Structure 1
Amino acid sequence: MLDLNLLLVLEALLQHQNVTAAAAHLGLTQSATSNALGRLRRHFDDPMFVSTYNGMLPTARTMEISESLSQALQLIRSMDAPRQVFDPCRSTRTFRFHLSDVGEVVFLPMLIRRLDELGASVKVETAQMTADEVGTRLESGEIDVAVGFLPALSKKLEHLTLFKEHYVCVMRKSHPLANAGKLTLKKFLGGAHVLIESMGSGHRIIERTLEQHGIPRGVALRVPHFMVVPMIVSESDRIVTVPSRVARVFSSVMDIRVQDLPIDIPSFDVSLYWHPRFGSDPGVLWLLSLMSELFSEPKGRPMQKANPLDAY
Structure 2
Amino acid sequence: MTIDYSSLRQLDLNLLLAFDILVQEASVTQAAEKLNMSQSAMSHALKRLRAVLKDPILIRTSQRQMEVTPYALEISPQVRQILAEIQETLLAKDVFNPATAQEDFRIATNDYVEATLSANLLQQLTQQAPGIQIRVKGLNKDAVLAALDDNSIDLFIGAGLDLKRWHVQESLYQEEFVCVLQSDCPLTELSLEQYVERTHILVSFQDDFRGIGDLILEQQQQSRQVVWSTPHFMVVPFLLANSDCVALLPKRMAERCAKEMGLKLLPPPIDVTRFTVSMIWHQRHNNRPQHQWLRKQFLIAAKQLAD
1:207/1:38 Cα in 2 relative to 1: closer, same or farther (>3 Å)? same
2:124 matches 1:114: yes
Q: Spell out, residue by residue over 1:210-268, the C-alpha distance to the aligned partner (whole angstroms, 9 max, x if none).
A: 45553356x43111221222222223333211111121232244342222222222222
1:152/1:96 Cα in 2 relative to 1: closer, same or farther (>3 Å)? same
Q: Which residue of 1 aligns with 2:51?
A: 42
1:279/1:114 Cα in 2 relative to 1: closer, same or farther (>3 Å)? same
Q: Spell out, residue by residue over 1:166-210, the C-alpha distance to the aligned partner (whole angstroms, 9 max, x if none).
A: 111122324xxx12443332222111111111369xx93133234
Q: CA deviation at 1:100?
A: 0.6
Q: How many residues align?
A: 291
Whether the 8 Å CA contact 2:180–2:265 is kept in 1: the answer is yes
2:141 matches 1:162: no
Q: Spell out, residue by residue over 1:52-98, the C-alpha distance to the aligned partner (whole angstroms, 9 max, x if none).
A: 8997344357624x444223322443477585664322322333322
Q: CA deviation at 1:165?
A: 1.5
Q: Which residue of 1 aligns with 2:18?
A: 9
Q: Which residue of 2 aligns with 1:305?
A: none
Q: Which residue of 2 aligns with 1:251?
A: 258
Uncovered stretches (5+) of structure 2, i.e. residues with no partner: 1-8
Percent identity (aligned):
29
Q: Which residue of 2 aligns with 1:134?
A: 144
Structure 2 distance, partners of 1:227, 1:114, is 23
**Aligned partner of residue 106 in structure 2, secondary structure:** strand
Q: Which residue of 1 aligns with 2:183?
A: 173
Q: CA deviation at 1:7?
A: 0.7
Uncovered stretches (5+) of structure 1, i.e. residues with no partner: 300-312
Q: CA deviation at 1:106?
A: 0.9
Whether the 8 Å CA contact 2:172–2:299 is kept in 1: the answer is yes
Q: CA deviation at 1:24?
A: 4.3
Structure 1 distance, partners of 2:289, 2:264, is 44
Q: CA RMSD in A?
A: 3.4
1:18/1:155 Cα in 2 relative to 1: closer, same or farther (>3 Å)? closer
2:242 equivalent among 235, 238, 242:
235
Structure 1 distance, partners of 2:124, 2:161, is 30
1:4/1:256 Cα in 2 relative to 1: closer, same or farther (>3 Å)? same
1:69/1:133 Cα in 2 relative to 1: closer, same or farther (>3 Å)? farther
1:298/1:241 Cα in 2 relative to 1: closer, same or farther (>3 Å)? closer
Whether the 8 Å CA contact 1:168–1:247 is kept in 2: the answer is yes
TM-score by length of 1: 0.77
Whether the 8 Å CA contact 2:101–2:129 is kept in 1: the answer is no
1:163/1:261 Cα in 2 relative to 1: closer, same or farther (>3 Å)? same
2:196 equivalent among 189, 196, 211:
189
